[in-house]
Amino acid sequence: MSKSTFFTGQPIFCQLLNLIPRHLIASSVKEHSSDRYYKRYKSYDHLVTMLYTCFQKCSSLREVVTGLMACHHRLSHLGLKYVPRRSTLSEANNNRSHEFFSAVYERLYHTYYHFSPDSRLKGSIENRLFLIDSTTISLFSDIMKGMGSHPVNGKKKGGAKAHLVVKASEDVPVYSIITHASKSDKEIFKHVDLPEGAIVVFDKGYNSYEKFAEFNSQSITWVTRISDVAYQELIAHLPVSEKEKEAGVIADDKVLLGRPSNRKTKKIAVRRITFYDSVTKKTFVFITNHKTFKASTIAAIYKRRWQIELLFKRLKQSYPLKHFLGESENAIKVQIWCALITDLLLSIVKKQLKKKWSFANICSMVRLHLMNYLDLILFLENPEKSLMNYSERLNQQQPSLFSSA
């Protein structure tokens, strides 16, 4: 019998789980005591179950449990000896702290991307660029407080908000925090810690003069849009070359932000750049603390902020963030963290590929073949050849039930 080099001894799901070192899970369990009071359904089993939920986009407890029962024999050699009942999974989602899953994500990120907020960043703009934004995940009940006031009918949907800091060159969150949707972005902004030499981009909802001054003292470049109600005092007009005007730069000024009559408000001097986008036919006003970048470069840096919007779209479309397996705040956070871990695992795989895949295609291919015995990397490099060899191997191993005569 010929032996296919495209055959692997583990399903694709097992190969993805192998990307998570066991010591990483053990240290997370120890840190948060997440196995306390659990005799059989351990933290690792819970993690595997929720990652299966995310990869397969399961929308109910029954889908998850029956799916795992059907392929339990393929996962047992990885240590998953116990498939939970629906009630057990529901109880675990409600009671096992989401901080365990948060710790797994953080450790997994540092294992593969080696980011340290204490290091100094050098090199090109791309390697130093960070994006900050948040996205709201709608809920059907007011488990987590949503944004805005109550409607006339008195029925208000809840909402969770994921606040992310993303390094542009990696396209995965460096720092994440999940809160109620009603939580102000500025409150989370206070806790953002970036390395010296970083360039950070965010929208005008994060305008905080105190944080701007902190970034200035840390040699961190920031770019944002100016608030509509900001007080501006013109200090000087900076020269704009003809080439910059052709690129869309209307004005480059030095201004002072902070109303003089308010003693509590931090006063800060910034560059204010007025830019016309010929594509959208709109005029934008940016502010930054960088003194030497060209005005058109500042506009181009801010344009990169759209990358984080694409990440939000990817997370919401690729993983089950519309239907949750529990009706508690902890259960919702657990599922969101597991979606982030799933996305990180696929990002790690994508980095290893020579073939250029869109993230949506990788996600779909993995979902379709999650329990097939295929070498994941070889399969994604050449799906047709891999599956053809896999089919030939199965035909050689399995006799026909019916006579061909």
Tell me what the mean pLDDT of segment 257-283 comes to. 86
Domain ranges in the chain are 12-103+326-397, 224-296
pLDDT at 400: 52
Tell me what the mean pLDDT of segment 211-220 comes to. 91
**pLDDT band (50, 70, 90) for residue 215:** very high
pTM metric for this prediction: 0.88
pLDDT at 3: 45
**pLDDT band (50, 70, 90) for residue 120:** low
3-state secondary structure the chain: CCCCCCECCCCHHHHHHCCCCHHHHHHHHHHHCCCCCCCCCCHHHHHHHHHHHHHHCCCCHHHHHHHHHHCHHHHHHHCCCCCCCHHHHHHHHHHCCHHHHHHHHHHHHHHHHCCCCCCECCCCHHHHEEEEEEEEEECCCCCCCCCCCCCCCCCCCCEEEEEEEEECCCCEEEEEEEEECCCCHHHHHCCCCCCECCEEECCHHHCCHHHHHHHHHCCCEEEEECCCCCCEEEEEEECCCHHHHHHCEEEEEEEEECCCCCCCCCCEEEEEEEEEECCCCEEEEEEECCCCCCHHHHHHHHHCCHHHHHHHHHHHHHCCCCCCCCCCHHHHHHHHHHHHHHHHHHHHHHHHCCCCCCHHHHHHHHHHCCCCCECHHHHHHCHHHHHHHHHHHHHHHCCCCCCCC
On the question of pLDDT at 395 being above 70, the answer is: no
pLDDT, tens digit, 9 for 90 and up, residues 344-383: 999 999 999 988 888 999 999 999 999 988 899 999 998 8
